[in-house]
Amino acid sequence: MEQQRGRPRIADVAREAGVSKTAVSFAFNSPERLSPDTATRIREVADSLGYRPHPVARMLTQRRTRTLGVLTPQALSVVFANPFFATFSEGVAAAAEEAGYGLLFVSPVYGSLARAVGRATVDGFVAIGLSEEHPEVGQIRRADLPIVLVDSSAFPEHAAVDVDDEGGARQAAEHLLALGHREFLVVGVEPPTPGAHPDFGGVVGRRLAGYRAAFAEDGVELPDDRVVVGPASIDGGAACFTRAWEDGLRPTAVLAMSDAMAIGVIGAARRLGLAVPADVSVVGFDDIELARHVDPPLTTVRQPVRRKGEEACRLLLAAIERGDGAGPEHRRLETRLIVRGSSGPAPRRGREVAAGD
């Protein structure tokens, strides 16, 4: 019986090709340092022997992992329940793959994002939803890794990508006010830190500011009990609306900070015997693919979700090539209200509270 050969080594390729081990390394990692004919011949010999560079050794040689981290302060089981994140990740992945990079999704390990960051072997991070107070940001800074922040409070020394959250939210509120609504419920995304007040920095704070600016101009108040928060998912939105209804709130319009939550609100309203939009209007934020296919189709604020991922990834790739910390460049993308069937005129008094009373 023929003895099974072990995995081919770099020395085997060098001997067969009649070159040094350094030349073999150059053929795979820095082919420009060899003549085209020599590099091609070495690769052909390597293929015939079944040799492949060891990924760890190659990473050490190049001082690159060819992997980008997508960092989120919430568990992946939570973020992937929101279709927004899948579309955003699609944009990051498209730009990464075009440049020959892979992706590593990094979320808290046993509740600690710092522990996860410490274990991640990546060339830089696209970080979504981090605030400047997160200890992980300091850890990334100390590691001297490029970072691009998405939907975060902008840090002066880091690149950032976000959208006009305040302007988009204001458009949504103005739309409902023009339809005669005065009794509102705002359904927001709960902060990563349990128990934190919903009116904080970042996306939720900016969108709340937009809603409140429109209400103030129209003389409408938004008491604290009219702002409820939950996970950015369909189930999260349903739970928020159900809880508010059970607490005695009777809104004629709901402003949801994500489409997934808005779709959950529509489902919960129907289970309570309410018609959308005859009894309660619902407006979301994102314009995910599902928004136009629900019944009724969702009125929402469109943001370029996939493009946001692409822009963030390209900023990060440029920083990696330059070897800097991604600089202070800040890109803000536009938002636009898309009116569909889930919003309509405010109901007359009496009908709006017919269900559940």
Residue 181 has pLDDT above 80, yes or no: yes
Residue 277 has pLDDT above 90, yes or no: yes
pLDDT at site 356: 47
Highest mean pLDDT: which range of 78-82, 141-145, 203-207, 303-307: 303-307
Does pTM top 0.85 for this prediction? no
Cβ-in-10-Å burial (0-12, 13-18, 19+) of 204 comes to: buried
Q: Which position has the token pair 């988009």? A: 168
Contacts with 56 (C-beta within 8 Å, 6 or more apart), sequence order: none
The CB density around residue 232, as the number of other CB atoms within 10 Å, is 29
Q: If you average pLDDT over every residue of the chain, what do you get? A: 85
Going by pLDDT thresholds of 50, 70 and 90, the confidence category of residue 2 is very low
The two three-digit tokens of residue 260, written as one number: 């997934």
Q: Identify which has the larger pLDDT, 272 or 353.
A: 272
Q: Which domains does the chain have, with CATH numbers?
A: 67-162+305-333 (3.40.50.2300), 165-304 (3.40.50.2300)
Going by pLDDT thresholds of 50, 70 and 90, the confidence category of residue 252 is very high
Q: Which position has the token pair 């002066």? A: 156
327-345 pLDDT, tens digit each: 678 899 999 999 999 999 9
Region of 71 (left: φ > 0; alpha: ψ -120 to 50; beta: rest) is beta
Is residue 206 a contact partner of residue 166, using CB atoms and an 8 Å limit? yes
Half-sphere exposure in the Cβ direction for 107 (13 Å, CA): 9
pLDDT at site 319: 87
Distance CA 267, CA 262 (A): 9
- Could you report how far apart the first and last alpha carbons of the chain are, in Å? 84
Distance CA 32, CA 138 (A): 37
Least confident of 14-18, 25-29, 32-36: 25-29
Distance CA 233, CA 83 (A): 8
Going by pLDDT thresholds of 50, 70 and 90, the confidence category of residue 229 is very high
Is residue 113 a contact partner of residue 71, using CB atoms and an 8 Å limit? yes
Cβ-in-10-Å burial (0-12, 13-18, 19+) of 36 comes to: exposed
Residue 272 has pLDDT above 60, yes or no: yes
User: In sequence order, what are the beta bridge partners of 161?
Assistant: 150, 331
Q: Identify which has the larger pLDDT, 278 or 110.
A: 278
Report angle CA 36, 319, 155 to the nearest 5 degrees: 175
Q: Which position has the token pair 């809104």? A: 251
Is residue 8 a contact partner of residue 54, using CB atoms and an 8 Å limit? no
Going by pLDDT thresholds of 50, 70 and 90, the confidence category of residue 79 is confident
